[in-house]
Structure 1
Amino acid sequence: MTASLDQLRRCHVGVDLGAARTRVFVKGAGLVVDEPSVAAINTRTGSLIAVGEFAERMTGRTPSYIRVVRPVSGGTVVDIDMAQRMLSHLLDDKLRRTLRRKPRLRAAACTPHDADPLAQRATTETLIGLGARRVELVDTLIAAAVGCGLPVERPEATMILVCGAATTQVAVLSMGAIVTAVRIPVGGDAIDHAIVQLLRHQHELMLPSQSVRPLQLALSGNGLTARGPESTEIHGRDVATGLARSVQVRTASVREAIHTPLTTVLDGIGKVLRDCPPDLVADLADRGIMMVGGSALLPGLDQMLRDATGMPVHIAERPDVCSVLGLGAMLEGCIQPMQLDLLGS
């Protein structure tokens, strides 16, 4: 975390720019924006047509001159101008006027672990374009741990797994800092893509882009575990004829399809544990892993991690908004730094 708690308490607004969703927390008002990080533009005029939920519903349904774009990829702003326009329209007029009246508007933003200086600058420039005079950056891992109630300020090990759409971040925290961490370029989108490819190659079935997440369609109950249903019915479009068709998909084949992306995540967890001091690993054997992020809700994913690691695995109460709620808690001054008594004082 590059910003101190004292600096964060002076901030008025916190922003979590994710690849899947954008969330904004305003001090005193709480979570005011939770919308998809999507914008639709008219390529002929350059005008912005829609943002958020409405723009996402337009994906795959627009004429050629309307383009649906995602200005954030993997937690990094890839199009600063579009990100500014999207954020500005996601905030309603009343809130924009309130923020403009603050003469020294300060903002805080979540950034992925080990984000390079260029990515940090892109996030900073996005918020400065909205009127912020100063921008504080907070590591997503710290914010998510605070948001799900982990005792990050204590001299005890806590392990967190941030399951995002494009990346997965794993870290061990102690005494308010990151002991060891790794960012894996595999997220919920990779798991979804594996399911889509399975249906296309084995069943010659295409899923519409606006369908519910393919994994949640294909699985129910115990989902990815062997105790789940043997098969389930999937509706889609036939690759050859283009007509609507339904097929029965075996959940065992689904588990095989997502084995590769999940193995990469498990390798990342193993690397973090190998780099962690033995005393902290002993703490983790009892406390286990806390899962946050939108992809943490994939059915059966927690059980697969339990089986692979032998550690307890917990899912946060509101895993999708933990990062922005943790950022908000720091803005509101709900987190107190650990006080150390100096020897001889």
Structure 2
Amino acid sequence: MTASLEQLRRCHFGVDLGAARTRVYVKGSGLVVDQPSVAAVNTRTGALIAVGELAEKMTGRTPHYIRVVRPVSGGTVVDIEMAQRMLRHLLGDEIRRTLRRKPRLRGAACTPHDAGPLAQRATIETLVGLGARRVELVDTLIAAAVGCGLPVEQPEATMVMVCGAAATQVAVLSLGSIVTAERIPVGGEAVDHAIVQHLRHEHALMLPSQSVRPLQVALSGNGLTPDGPSSTEIHGRDVATGLARSVRIDTAAVRDAIQTPLTGVLDGIGKVLRECPPDLVADLADRGIMMVGGSALLPGFDQMLRQATGMPVHIADRPDVCAVQGLGTMMEGGVEPLQLDPVDL
């Protein structure tokens, strides 16, 4: 459920709890937190050792008594207590003291389009743990559309695609509301998994989790298109011997492996367009699709969508922070609702 603009203007801070990164916007200060949604815990004492980037670097490199956890999965809080502790450490003492001085502290949070009552309740409980007396929930699709500058309050069709780590959400918006939407359980993590499985099966190479992103960067430029680099060298561990090994892989085969999970995204876009009224589809033929989210930067993803749909495809200027920036814009009063006065007969 999306809160009204009047309610959002009363909020003091906004949180975008993503599966990959957590971002916090404080009214009057802007974006104050942009860190990975990761925490490292000492299982012997229960103490929180690290959060954010430092905890992410510990993944796969810790002794047995240190556990690296992700309290958010697919945009939904799965561990409320750990999410609260992570947010407290990410905000720091100074920002938390500033927020505590606010009378009747109000917070706002982004939630996935199809989030159920339990998922919404978990998000609310997480912000209540920071001292919020009231929490407003905003649909991630609407917040992202506002953040990238789309005229969502106008009677015109705008199509936004939020490419997250665990899922991709596609929607057509008009008059500040969602006309039709679809959530596809394919995101950046599915692409990473496809690359890891391809290297394991074809080259008997186990790729460290920290090396998946550099491989995607190696495909940059033309990326997923056949005009990209023909080969690249990657380092990993041999499946049979366990020793370090380097192999030169054919990027064309990696592109094929990446495109397999992305087929589900194309199916979701087709379903949204089929359920959309014809007048709005006609608007989309000119406006096209706006891509936001961290996975929108996947090399060549926009070109693949352009070829498959025949529609213009655009990537926002800062696609990774569009949702929290849109939340901040609505809290600061940067969006004016379209006035629809009743007609007197």
- TM-score interval w.r.t. the shorter chain? over 0.9
User: Which segment is superposed worse, 204-213 or 278-287?
Assistant: 204-213
Report the residue type matching 1:129 in the other structure: G
Quote how far apart the aligned CAs of 1:344 are.
2.7
Matches within 5 A, 1:298-309: 298-309=298-309
Q: Distance in 1 between matches of 2:215 and 2:333?
A: 39
Tell me the secondary structure at the aligned position of residue 258 of structure 1. Answer: helix
- For normalisation by structure 2, the TM-score amounts to 0.98
Q: Deviations over 1:117-139 (max 9, x none)?
A: 00000000000011000000000
CA deviation vs aligned residue, 1:228-250 (integer Å, no higher than 9, x gap): 12222212222222222221221
Amino acid at match of 1:331: M
Verify the 8 A CA contact 1:215 1:298 in the aligned structure 2. no
Letter in 1 for 2:44: R
**Equivalent position of 2:111 in the other structure:** 111
Aligned to 2:133: 133
1:322 aligns with 2:322: yes
Return the letter of the residue paired with 1:329.
T
CA distance in 2 between counterparts of 1:92 and 1:230 reads 46
Three-state SS of the structure 1 residue aligned to 2:265 is: helix
- Whole-angstrom CA distance in 2 between matches of 1:2 and 1:158: 18
Task: Provide, for residues 70-116 of structure 1, a one-character-per-residue CA deviation record: whole Å limited to 9, x for no partner.
Answer: 00000000000000000000011111111111120000000000100
**Retained in 2: the 8 A contact 1:24–1:33?**
yes
**Deviation, structure 1 residue 189:** 0.4
Deviates more, 1:131-140 or 1:255-264: 255-264
How far apart are residue 207 of structure 1 and its match?
1.5
CA drift at 1:293: 0.2
Whether the 8 Å contact between 1:218 and 1:233 is mirrored in structure 2 is: no
Superposition map of 1:82-121 within 5 A: 82-121=82-121
Deviation at 1:260, TM superposition (A): 2.3
Deviation track 1:43-62 (CA, whole Å, cap 9, x = no partner) reads 11111111001000011111
Alignment of 1:139-150 (within 5 A): 139-150=139-150
User: Equivalent residue of 1:169, what SS?
Assistant: strand
SS, match of residue 199 in structure 1: helix
Contact 2:192 2:212 in 1 (8 A): no
C-alpha distance in structure 1 between counterparts of 2:130 and 2:212, whole Å: 33
Aligned equivalent of 1:58: 58
1:22 is matched with 22
Structure 2 distance, partners of 1:196, 1:217, is: 15
1:74 corresponds to 2:81: no
State, as a whole percentage, how many aligned pairs show the same letter: 83
Structure 1 segments of 4+ aligned residues over 3 angstroms from their partners: none
Q: Is the 8 A contact 2:198 2:254 kept in 1?
A: yes
User: Is 2:43 the counterpart of 1:43?
Assistant: yes
Please, which runs of 5 or more residues in structure 2 have no aligned partner?
none
- Equivalent in the alignment of 1:31: 31
Query: Is 1:258 the equivalent of 2:258?
Result: yes
Normalised to the residue count of structure 1, the TM-score between the two structures is 0.98
